[in-house]
Amino acid sequence: MDAMRMLDALILGVVEGATEFIPVSSTGHILLLGHFLGFESTGKTFEVLIQLGAILAILTVYSARLLKIATALPTDPDARRFVLGVLIAFLPAAIIGAMAHGFIKSVLFETPMVVCVALIVGGIILLWVDRLDLTVRHDDATRFPLTTYLAIGFFQCLAMIPGVSRSGSTIAGALLLGASKRAAAEFSFFLAMPTMAGAFAYDLYKNRDVLSADDLVITAIGFVAAFITAVIVVRKVLDYVSKHGFSFFAWWRIVVGSLGIVGLLLVG
């Protein structure tokens, strides 16, 4: 096992955990960083499979709340309605993602310039949305109207373009639909669970015949790094966005995307 490849996997895992739940595009960061590190994974599976670490981080941080919702399902219509809302929001990405899986992995994941442009454009849009004087109609992520959940699900589909950001698209969509900044970020966390779990399972199934033992070891390293980092980030991000909004993340996207373009033009 190449020690440098293991170090690359560790670095990329930390980046995944640090960026998955903030609106900067973890996939975009990993693809760009992997490009400049010269890191290659079989079928681009590493970039998807290490998201399991981030999923488990969310489950760990929200375990008490998720258990409360689960135990309330038989008797509480509000709990059933919220679970239905998450499933409705998940449905568009599940259908479109399965249909476009080959194009996304073979074309979009292999085009770093697309990532850079998406980071910059997404940063500008997030900055614009963050500065709008929007009327807050929904302050509880578990009580959005069902039509709002569905609309957020379609916003999430934009993140199939690497660099757009799953959390960024869902947060921006929720803000435009009347959610508070905290509720928008929190629902993005909830929606991440079925979305990322589905992407993980589907990608693992599609590449089950080409993965080697070395691939699994590298993925395990990235998974552990992503889990530990994501737990730390998730515990902090809601309080941060409630107080400061999303402008820092928007500018971060613009800077990273711009540096990426410069790097691609200079070194290819």
pLDDT in tens, 12-69: 999 999 998 889 988 889 988 988 888 877 667 787 778 888 888 988 988 998 999 9
Tell whether the model's pLDDT for residue 187 goes beyond 90. Answer: yes
Residues 200/47, Cβ–Cβ less than 8 Å: no
Q: What's the whole-number mean pLDDT along residues 147-171?
A: 93
For residue 89, name the pLDDT band (cuts at 50, 70, 90): very high
Q: What angle do CA 149, 246, 10 make, to 5 degrees?
A: 90
Q: Please report, for residues 12, 68, 100, the alpha-carbon distance to residue 167 in angstroms, rounded to integers and kept in the order given.
A: 18, 24, 20
Q: In the chain, what are the helix, strand and coil shares in percent, each to the nearest 5?
A: 80, 0, 20
pLDDT of residue 123: 94
Measured in degrees and rounded to the nearest 5, phi and psi for residue 138 equal -135, 115
Q: Please report, for residues 27, 189, 225, the alpha-carbon distance to residue 136 in angstroms, rounded to integers and kept in the order given.
A: 30, 19, 36
3-state secondary structure of 35: helix
87: its two tokens: 């499933």
d(CA 46, CA 66): 28
pLDDT of residue 204: 78
18: its two tokens: 């640090």
**pTM given for the model:** 0.84
Q: Which residues pair with 138 in a beta bridge?
A: 179
| One-letter identity of residue 250 | A
Which has more pLDDT, 55 or 253? 253
Long-range contacts of 205-208 (CB under 8 A, 24+ apart): 206/43, 206/101, 207/42, 207/43, 207/45
